[in-house]
Chain A
């Protein structure tokens, strides 16, 4: 019995920093207090060192008043051709 191959880890990026400076120009402390985490966690998210839970991700999207996929998105793998990426995403 063969085991299913483990999918390669997704590289999840975000636009938290740029969204912070759009419109209201929120500080890291203000964002942290609004979504209920520490300032260091916002710093870690912006640097790509931490991927938050769905709850915090949705809170961030709500705070910036944008859809979730405008805050977090998968970074394309340079070794992965676009056609393969799309078909892989559809087939899982």
Chain B
């Protein structure tokens, strides 16, 4: 089957797919948390997170199949690698900040209040760390899209 030569590369299609699916799927999760549909740290929130991961994976696979049909899959070249590196560096900063903040909450918040009751639930910290990871992934995909559009 002849495939149309596209201005947008297969890698850029993939970055867009990952960015949009991550934003939509985890956006619904965060919206649910904000509206109080699920409580942070609850079993329901953990189930939602797992469902969100599965849903996002399925969505990315589906969009990647469509992107493969529309554009010819190509091996990564030096520009793709340069974009990946810059995007990973931006994401690392976000992830690092989230880990530091979670550590501060875990270590210093109970000490500051002088009560062990103030220590957050492990599920809460775990879910916050996962959301931090999602935020860093959003930054990574967003940076990739930006660099593909604007130039490296």
Interface presence of B80 (CB below 8 A): yes
Stretch at the interface among B5-13, B24-32, B62-70, B122-130: B5-13
Stretch at the interface among A9-17, A39-47, A82-90: A39-47
Interface presence of B47 (CB below 8 A): no
The answer to whether A56 touches B9, judged by C-beta atoms less than 8 angstroms apart, is: no
Interface presence of A29 (CB below 8 A): yes
Q: From residue A61, how far is it (CB to closest CB) to chain B in Å?
A: 16
Can you name the residue of chain A whose Cβ is closest to the Cβ of B83?
A50
The answer to whether A44 touches B5, judged by C-beta atoms less than 8 angstroms apart, is: no
CA distance A13 to B39 in the complex (A): 55
The answer to whether A38 touches B5, judged by C-beta atoms less than 8 angstroms apart, is: no
Interface presence of B4 (CB below 8 A): no
CA distance A40 to B77 in the complex (A): 10
Contacts of A48 in B (CB 8 A): 151
The answer to whether A56 touches B150, judged by C-beta atoms less than 8 angstroms apart, is: no
CA distance A44 to B8 in the complex (A): 11
Question: Given B7, B77, B150, which contacts A41 in the complex, CB threshold below 8 Å?
Answer: B77
Question: Given A29, A40, A49, A53, which contacts B78 in the complex, CB threshold below 8 Å?
Answer: A53
The answer to whether A41 touches B78, judged by C-beta atoms less than 8 angstroms apart, is: yes
CA distance A49 to B152 in the complex (A): 6
The verdict on A38 contacting B151 (CB below 8 Å), with A44-B79, A50-B79 known, is: no
Contacts of A52 in B (CB 8 A): 78-79
The verdict on A43 contacting B152 (CB below 8 Å), with A37-B79, A38-B74, A38-B79 known, is: no
Question: Given A40, A50, A53, A56, which contacts B7 in the complex, CB threshold below 8 Å?
Answer: A40
Contacts of A40 in B (CB 8 A): 7-9, 12, 79
Interface presence of A67 (CB below 8 A): no
B-contact bits for A28-39, CB 8 A (1 contact / 0 none): 010000001111
Q: Using a CB–CB distance below 8 Å, which chain A residues touch chain B?
A: 29, 36-41, 43-44, 47-53, 55-56
